[in-house]
Amino acid sequence: MNIVIVGNGLAGTLAAKTLRELDPEVKIEIFGEEKYPYYPRPNLIEFLAGRLPYEKLFAFPEGWNERQRIGLHLGQSVTRIRPAERTIETSAGASFPYDVLLLATGARAVIAPVAGSGQKGVFVLRTLDDAQAILGHLRDHKRAAVLGGGLLGLEIARAIRGRGAEVLVVEFFDRLLPRQLDPAAAAILKAQIEKTGISVRLGAVAKEIVGGGHARGLRFESGDEVEADAVIIAAGVTPEFGPAKDAGLAFARGILVDDRMRTDKPEIFAAGDAAEHRGQVYGIIPAAFEQARAAAYNMLGMDMPYAGTVPSNTLKIAGLYVTSAGIVSGEGHGFESLVRAVPEEGLYKKIVLKEGRLVGAIWMGTKKGASEVSRLVALKKDVESRKQDLLEETFDFAEIP
């Protein structure tokens, strides 16, 4: 059997690895638009911060693909799928047959609707090429603005601050990490971030990047301006459809898949940031991971359903561990929230229950219990009788099986 995988990111690579583990014979070919072997994207932050050297970015040692007998075609994008003939075409003009195809084309960074974003000194961070371009620019430009106070924006800010840049984070919403934190937790985080020398401007709309071809500053909707000779846009991502649309595959926000990661064409699957499953486009590693594994099993005809991923993330931002899982601002009928906070220590713990079941949590300023509480959220555990205890430092999660 011939399996072709489009995309050399986490989903494509993990699917290939799983396929090989499951079947030593199947023929696997991966096509990747980028010229590099697989690297986990969080490594780009470490690279940007100078904590990870170039050689350590990559997930596998040299020759891994050959040893796994996985054909790797780097620097080649798949430009066309011909479903009727079951072939793909690449940017190098080659054509390959497939029996089963996986679309793992990921996502690309959104350029916010800001005038002047085409100038020199304006960047996004999605790929290794992007990271290298940012680093090159920061060598002689030190006043940086990061547009976006979400996870990626804050991570970028922290990384380049560590390189000695003066950094301003601009966030459209009235708080940082609007998707992961509630207002109280976001206020604690902001104070911690500011202690590291990063400036934060909330509720601000950058209307224009000013400069005559080279970024010089930002003009806000309010009319005032700040200087910035490096602007990094971290305004979210959008699924990359690659050749899926032209091939007539059903799509909405992402490429539509069922619980077997199958598109509306039975021999074509999709997984990762490009896929939309039950109305969700996740854009996070745990989902790409679970989807790619499920896709690999199902591509070989071994039934493995995928029922969705509960978003959960632990990050260290400005020295604070921040974990956010499930629904973090449960309001309305049937919801109950419990909080324990010590703001001066950066500590904030919150659990959200719906009819006694744990549906969300924020765990900030401590790692202790973070993965355990995330697991309980994923399982939607009934914690009604222990809800007060859960927030205590001394609580032993082993007591909730």
Ligand X SMILES: Cc1cc2nc3c(=O)[nH]c(=O)nc-3n(C[C@H](O)[C@H](O)[C@H](O)COP(=O)(O)OP(=O)(O)OC[C@H]3O[C@@H](n4cnc5c(N)ncnc54)[C@H](O)[C@@H]3O)c2cc1C
The residues binding ligand X (CB under 6 A) are 6-12, 31-34, 41-42, 44-45, 77-78, 104-107, 125-126, 152, 240, 242-243, 272-274, 283-285, 288, 313
Which amino acid is located at 384 in the chain? E
Q: How many residues does the chain have?
A: 401
- When the beta carbons of 121 and 243 are compared against ligand X, the nearer one is 243
State in angstroms the smallest separation of the CB of 150 from ligand X: 11
* Spatial separation of the C-alpha atoms in residues 81 and 90, rounded to whole Å: 9
State in angstroms the smallest separation of the CB of 19 from ligand X: 15
- When the beta carbons of 184 and 237 are compared against ligand X, the nearer one is 237
Decide if 348 contacts 188 (C-beta within 8 A).
Answer: yes
- When the beta carbons of 268 and 391 are compared against ligand X, the nearer one is 268
State in angstroms the smallest separation of the CB of 63 from ligand X: 20
Which amino acid is located at 65 in the chain? N
- Classify residue 88 by its DSSP letter: E
Point out the residue whose Cβ comes nearest to ligand X: 9
State in angstroms the smallest separation of the CB of 270 from ligand X: 9
State in angstroms the smallest separation of the CB of 318 from ligand X: 15
Per DSSP, the residues of 28-39 read EEEEESSSS---
- When the beta carbons of 107 and 358 are compared against ligand X, the nearer one is 107
* Spatial separation of the C-alpha atoms in residues 316 and 371, rounded to whole Å: 14
State in angstroms the smallest separation of the CB of 249 from ligand X: 13
- When the beta carbons of 192 and 323 are compared against ligand X, the nearer one is 323
* Spatial separation of the C-alpha atoms in residues 314 and 70, rounded to whole Å: 32
- When the beta carbons of 157 and 400 are compared against ligand X, the nearer one is 157
Per DSSP, the residues of 345-394 read GTEEEEEEEETTEEEEEEEES--TTHHHHHHHHHHT-B-GGGTTGGGSTT
